A and B are shown apart, each in its own frame.
Chain A
Amino acid sequence: MVDFKGAFLNLPEPALRLLVFVLAFLMGATAVVFLIGKFIPESLHRELVDRVKAWWIIVGVLTLAIGLSRELTIILFWFISFWALKEYFTAIRTRPEDHLALFVAFFVIPTLQYLWIWNRWYIMFLIFVPVYAFLSIPFFLLISRNPRGFILSSARIHWGLMAFVYGIGHMAYLVNLHHLHDPDAPYSGITLLIYLIFVAEISDVFQYIFGKLFGKHRVWPSISPGKTWEGLIGGGLTATLFGYQFRSLTPFSPPESIFVSLLIVILGFIGGGVMSAMKRDLGKKDFGYILPGHGGIIDRVDSLCWAAPIYFHYIAYFHGHYLLITGARS
């Protein structure tokens, strides 16, 4: 399952170049944060130190999993889904009657969904959460025989499954994609996954930086104090530029890479907004504290939950005729 000997060097060359770039970028960021410590308020400095530390952890874990094997990557995303569900179901209100449905939502549905991904069962991967989970969760709620709050409970549970199992699962399914005719193509599902995460996270990081430096006009003042037009435009343009620069990870033409990067930026921004609205609704600042300075897992993957499915289906629709999406690998 884990190929230590051929690991990393099996990654296509553009992916290795991106890895070197990300590591250099992180080292640069670490140096900058270390140097500006004296000139900025201490609380901001601590926040920056925490964020840079968290990024080292995120980049390290992702690189290890993606570099070592397809299976480890799928297990990692299953764990991310599980942890996001934990944060979500802890934060929302549930009834004692929801117990069995919650158990199914935690253990049965994510496990099966990632099993379909593991086995490259494309059709099942597509319909399992929207059809079978949607129909079975109300059934498990019926067993409790209490109609009070039934609609809310079904909606809450299915919402979590769609966002954190179905949405995040689309990132995991990307690792199954391969070029049908050209085994030496510089791009594959793995580089497409790296590209998505890279553009979305560069966008998040530079939205934060531009927002801190120039942010004045809030996009949604009543929902998220941190999201400004200056941040969105600065971060979005930076991410698009990087997306254009690293388009060799993908089959996209140059103008197409700009379009797809903008798509990731805008969907990621909306995803971040949706999670902010949810936190406001629940009266919480963030969803947990797995990573210092980053809140919970949900606070980190919110933009990807929205961007991943659309990005995936864009690729499947426009590039699916020469990428292997369904069935076994030859």
Chain B
Amino acid sequence: MRDVIQAAFFAVVVRPIMKLIVGIRVHGREDLPAGQFILVANHASHLDTLTLLSLFPIRDLVRIRPVAAADYWARNPLIYGVARLFFNILPIPRRGITRGNNPLEIMARALEEGYSLLIFPEGTRDYGEELGPFRPGVAHLLRRFPRIPCIPVFLKNTGRILPKGQFLPVPLFVDVVIGKPIIFRGDAQVEDILRLLRKKVMELSRHADS
């Protein structure tokens, strides 16, 4: 039932808005893999998740979960309900982490269930259009699942359209630059993975400017 509501919501509301008002320009769509993936992108706006989800065919949405901060998206049942219903978010805690709510375990479980994940490794929209430092969780996850390809993505202009703290959108074009999938080895160092990932996203941002 939730799948049907989500599909209908995307077909009737999200897609038309993204096409007629926002207008997404995608570079490198052919690099999106057909199977399971971990997508890693910069984060500046609520629009980021919508943009990334609208890259995929609507029937594929059921197997994609955007990883979201529990202290924001699960702060009350109404917001969590809506975010879960329409976007199938996977809430993870950013602070007060215990053995019972380890975010790494939550994401690992979703991957084992066959979901693909959308991850914003900056962990916040605070850096805006700048690329902030990456939090290490994503690297641990990639090390644990070396067979799942990682897709680096750069999103341009979402932070200008709907920046943090604003609720009126300014409908500029969004540029989405999709990089080639990366496969990390299970014995790679966490710091190396993070450094490489951040470098990749940086490179993609330069591609968006040209």
Contact = CB atoms under 8 A, between A and B. Distances in A.
Interface residues of A, number: 13
A87 B157 CA distance: 12
A103 B163 CA distance: 13
A90 interface: yes
A90 B157 CA distance: 8
A289 B170 contact: no
Interface stretch (A92-100, A188-196, A312-320): A92-100
Q: Is the interface of A mostly helix, strand, loop or mixed?
A: helix
B188 interface: no
Nearest to A96: B163
B127 to A, nearest CB: 13
Nearest to B166: A99
B160 interface: yes
A89 B157 CA distance: 11
Contact of A86 (B128, B163, B166, B173): B173
B23 to A, nearest CB: 6
Contacts of B168: 99-100, 103
A289 to B, nearest CB: 7
Most chain A beta-carbon contacts within 10 A, residue among B23, B166, B168, B170: B170
A9 to B, nearest CB: 31
B171 interface: yes
Given A99-B168, A289-B25, A87 B163 contact: no
B170 A102 contact: yes
A90 B172 contact: yes
B171 A87 contact: no
Most chain A beta-carbon contacts within 10 A, residue among B23, B168, B173: B173
**Band of interface residues on B:** 10 to 19
A288 interface: yes
Interface string A275-310: 000000000000011000000000000000000000
A125 interface: no
Contacts of B25: 288-289
A106 interface: yes
B170 A103 contact: yes
B167 to A, nearest CB: 10
B176 to A, nearest CB: 14
Contact of A89 (B23, B166, B169, B170): B170
B166 A106 contact: no
A165 to B, nearest CB: 15
A90 B22 CA distance: 11
A96 B172 CA distance: 13
Interface in A251-292: 288-289
Contacts of B23: 86, 288
Interface string B152-183: 00000100100100101111110000000000
A103 B168 CA distance: 7
Contacts of B166: 99
B163 A106 contact: no
A27 B172 CA distance: 36
Contact of B173 (A99, A100, A106, A288): A288
A328 B169 CA distance: 36
A94 B160 contact: yes
Most chain A beta-carbon contacts within 10 A, residue among B157, B166, B168: B168
Contacts of B171: 86, 106
Contacts of A289: 25
Contacts of B163: 96, 99
B170 A96 contact: no
Contacts of B160: 94, 96
Nearest to B157: A90
Given A96-B128, A99-B168, 12 more contacts: A86-B23, A86-B173, A90-B173, A94-B160, A96-B163, A99-B166, A100-B168, A102-B170, A103-B169, A288-B23, A288-B25, A289-B25
17 contacts: A86-B23, A86-B172, A86-B173, A87-B173, A89-B170, A89-B172, A90-B157, A96-B128, A96-B160, A99-B166, A99-B168, A100-B168, A103-B168, A103-B169, A106-B171, A288-B23, A288-B173
